[in-house]
Amino acid sequence: MTKFRPWIVVLLVILATALLRIHLIGAPLERDEGEYAYAGQLMLQGIPPYKLACNMKLPGTYAAYALIMAAFGQTITAIHAGLLLVNAGAIVLIYLLGRRLFSVPAGLAACAAYALLSVGEGVMGTQAHATHFVVLAALAGLWLLLREAETERRWMLFGSGVLFGVAFVMKQHGILFGLFAAAYLVAGRQWRKLPLFLAGAAAPFALTCLILWWAGVFGRFWFWTFTYASRYVSENSLRDGAAALAETFGPILRQSAALWALAAVGLVLALRARRFLVPGLLLFSFAAVCPGLYFRAHYAVLMLPAVALLAGSCVRGRMSAWIFAAALILSLAVQRDFLFHMGPVEISRELYGQDPFPEAVPIAAYIRDHTQSQELIAVLGSEPEIYFYSHRHSATSFLYVEPLVEPQPFALRMQDDMVGELERNAPAYVVRFPIVETLSLGAESPARIFNWWADYGPKHYRLAGIADIMEDGSTEYRWDAAAEAYQPQSLYHLAVYRRR
């Protein structure tokens, strides 16, 4: 019975986290989730990524969403239930790693720390971002790599490589975890193991390329995920990156300051003891947050396993256990409004301000009720979740307008392609978020797409709906004739146009 007691604690941690997540499970999808959900929905219809929906992300998370929706349904609740399970898997793996590297109490503390950190407001932990899927695959790969060192079972070495390869296919940032594992083998002078590990790590990406080549979309896939993506990650300056880093990590550190302080102590203790595995994981996971110097809040999820393990490693006796418990309770108390009192829509407003994520749901319902299943729609903005909610295909393969107005060499070509697709496919409805134009355009931004719409739109479309998002978080809706007579009060409004 004694050996099962730690697992009872792990189960309680998972159940407690599940209760927090279930309370917020209906939070509207944000635009990254909308992209993953729409691409996954297309995959379930037999349509490969990059055929009807293109963006610079690798397709692993699209496939993960497709699996989740195949199991639970094509709803917000189903997607966030999938996140709950992914998060639970990561919690278990954090415990296993903490137990192996430090002790059972340290593993229990680490899994509790990760559970709270990964659901926190600062990292947008209620939303099913790709980073959660990267973490699950990377942790599984690391655990298998450490197991192989004890058992000398070579299939574990290959399997570990495969899992790190899956982490990369989930999101490009995941490659840093594979590099960490390779560095671990090199540092341990395990050169003979490296070829088999690297073969496993390359397999998921090679298989992905083969499938997409067979589906006839390899050229688009390569352009978006490597050619264009390489330009995207070179747009920010060091000054931009430093500002983004301070803006992102300030709230994260404030909300869980006690746990991060314990992690700092754990880092010092590990370095003094010359135990470099978890400090190395922290270094490489921070590097995984850095590409492009954007430092978006959910990127920090990639660092949380190392932070949790270091914080848990401080638990070495009864007194340190009480200190850790106090740090956990304090971090929970700081986020009590977010975790316990806010509803799903309030959560969306807290995390994303006046972005139209709650409004996408009724707008998609209106479009679904006023179109046939084979009719096409378009979003002239950045809300791919509308395609997912409405179960309608996009008339354009461009899911976001931002790449088209960035100061990058492909922008005008992309705009011409999008205009051509919209004119050819004549979508039944167009949804426009005008503030995106204001926020996206810079001094060097080409504006052809917006100038085109200013001329083309009034000739071929009439206003059918308005969702006017006020500063207090409320929304005014107007439909059909009432929409045409309504003057929006906020720059943050969605406009729905019906083809004449």
**What number is the average pLDDT over the span 342-355?**
92
Domain borders along the chain are 2-341, 353-499
Lowest pLDDT segment from 426-440, 447-461, 483-497: 426-440
- Tell me: the pLDDT tens digits for 100-130? 999 999 999 999 999 999 999 999 999 999 9
Which runs of E-coded beta strand occur in 145-209? none
Considering only CA atoms, give the Rg of the chain: 24
Q: What are phi and psi of 394, to 5 degrees?
A: -80, 145
Are the beta carbons of 252 and 123 closer than 8 angstroms? yes
Identify the helix (H) or strand (E) that includes residue 125: none
Task: Provide the residue count of the chain.
Answer: 500
Between 443 and 183, name the one with better pLDDT: 183
Tokens of 48: 């490969």
Tokens of 379: 């979003």
Strands 429-432 and 475-479: unpaired
- Tell me: the pLDDT tens digits for 402-450? 888 888 889 899 999 999 999 999 999 999 998 876 666 665 677 888 8
Closest CA to 56 of 390, 386, 397: 397
**What number is the average pLDDT over the span 289-313?**
94
Burial-class residue 332 by CB neighbours within 10 Å (0-12, 13-18, 19+). Answer: middle
CA distance 338 to 342: 6
- How far CA 34 is from CA of 62, 317, 494, in Å, comes to 10, 46, 16
**What number is the average pLDDT over the span 30-54?**
96
Q: What are phi and psi of 461, to 5 degrees?
A: -135, 155
What lies within 8 Å, CB to CB, of 162 at 6+ separation is 141, 200, 201, 203, 204
pLDDT at 439: 66
**What number is the average pLDDT over the span 323-339?**
94
Closest CA to 269 of 319, 315, 318, 325: 315
Q: What percent of the chain lies above the pLDDT cut of 70?
A: 98
- Tell me: the pLDDT tens digits for 371-381? 999 999 999 98
Lowest pLDDT segment from 156-160, 169-173, 241-245, 296-300: 241-245
User: Residue 277 pLDDT > 70, yes or no?
Assistant: yes
Are the beta carbons of 356 and 491 closer than 8 angstroms? no
Are the beta carbons of 404 and 418 closer than 8 angstroms? yes
pLDDT at 442: 63
Lowest pLDDT segment from 237-241, 321-325, 468-472: 237-241
pLDDT at 346: 93
pLDDT at 216: 96
Closest CA to 109 of 344, 395, 313: 313
* C-alpha dihedral sign at 175, 179, 184, 188: positive
User: Residue 142 pLDDT > 70, yes or no?
Assistant: yes
Query: In 102-129, which ranges are continuous DSSP H helix?
Result: 104-119
CA distance 209 to 226: 12
- Tell me: the pLDDT tens digits for 208-219? 999 999 999 999
Tokens of 318: 């009864």
Mean pLDDT of the chain: 93
